[in-house]
Structure 1
Amino acid sequence: MTTNFTRPEIEDFLFNEAALLDDWKLEEWLALFTDDARYLVPATDLPKDAPPEGNLFYIADDYFRIGERVKRLMKKTAFSEQPRSKTRHLVSNVRVFSQSADHCVANAAFITSRAKGGNVDLYVGSSEYTIVRREGALRIRSKRCTLDMEALRPHGRISIIL
């Protein structure tokens, strides 16, 4: 039986993901992922399809490490996010590229702003998702955020979730 994933359904799902991140509902955000999920943010100088094995990635997390990232960010001892940054995740140009009975590959453009300590940082790029339907709900099997930036300035790091 073929399951159809529609662009409006995927778009609503990605808008919800963005809202969870902006509202700092990180445990709920983590629940969007499958237990075999990957969250990847390659370095800005890598080819778009470079694998995390053998290449420098800002973030190359499996599900366990995504969970540890969430735990760390939720602690009051998370220096980089205390006080928490104010973020706004803007998602646009959502497209469903391919789908099969059990998953679809979708892409979206993003701009994420981070305000903290009187500074505003912008992260611009595109995210490629592999989304599956499990027990009637959409879940993220992989999320790869490719930044359209020459470098991360001024800090050279990412302390928020894109």
Structure 2
Amino acid sequence: MTAMSLPMADQKPLSVASVEYVEATDFLLLEAELLDDLREREWLETMVSKDVVYQLPIRETVERARGRGFIEGTFHLNENYGSLSSKVARNETKYAWAEDPPSRLRHFVTNVRVRRHGDADKLAVRSNVLIYRTRQDHTVPQILAGERHDVLRREEDGLRLLERVVYLDLTVIGTHNLSLFF
């Protein structure tokens, strides 16, 4: 999957009563809980595949005729397991000044749509995410909203995040850092 693809977008989403939908939704809700509780190491080691692709494309404001406004091949974040692991490790040290004390986060995940992927062991999942972030004693929260396009793969110990592309609704990200996980 590339940052511009819409996996299985022409396929009807599975019913909310399907086993796959329940599994995917349970995965997303547990993931949000771990990230909100700053249990980043647990999230990485139990929910993220070793060959993950994790991207946040850059958006620009364009006319409707020019597409959705994402610049092909350019990213605010273009991560793999190693770089995600480095971010987690850095947050665990006393040198993570940008996040010490840590931000207070809430991940609101909604409008979950699950489709069968071309591979039997994968699910294509689209969801909307709203991240509400407060820092120190600031009175104005930072709010990040967008749509996530995920591929979840069934591995030995359950579903894991294989691919995530986050399409933010913002063209200018008004936050002091991106040391959070979407």
Q: TM-score range by the shorter chain?
A: 0.7 to 0.9
Is 1:160 the counterpart of 2:174 in the alignment?
no
- Quote how far apart the aligned CAs of 1:98 are: 3.0
* CA 126–64 in structure 1, closer or farther in 2 if over 3 Å, else same: same
After TM superposition, the runs of 4+ consecutive aligned structure 1 residues lying more than 3 A away are: 46-52
Deviation at 1:44, TM superposition (A): 2.4
- The one of 125, 132, 150 equivalent to 1:113 is 132
**How high is the TM-score relative to the length of structure 2?**
0.78
Match of 1:138 in 2: 159
Please give the alpha-carbon distance, in whole angstroms, between the structure 2 residues aligned to 1:133 and 1:105.
12
Separation in 1, partners of 2:148, 2:126:
6
Partner of 1:37: 52
Asked whether 1:15 is paired with 2:29, we answer yes
Letter in structure 2 aligned against 1:25:
R
Amino acid at match of 2:38: W
* CA drift at 1:58: 1.1
TM superposition score normalised by structure 1: 0.87
Question: Which amino acid in 1 is paired with 2:26?
Answer: D
Question: For residues 16-69 of structure 1, what are the alpha-carbon distances to aligned partners after superposition, in whole Å with 9 as ceiling and x for unaligned?
Answer: 0000000000111102111111111111228577554xx2x1110111111111
Q: What is the Cα-based RMSD across aligned positions, in Å?
A: 1.9
Query: Aligned partners of 1:111 and 1:70: how far apart in 2?
Result: 21
Structure whose alpha-carbon radius of gyration is higher: 2
* Alpha-carbon distance in structure 1 between the residues aligned to 2:39 and 2:180: 13
Show structure 1 runs of 5+ residues with no match: none
Q: State which of 94, 97, 107 in structure 2 corresponds to 1:89.
A: 107
Corresponding residue number in structure 2 for 1:150: 171
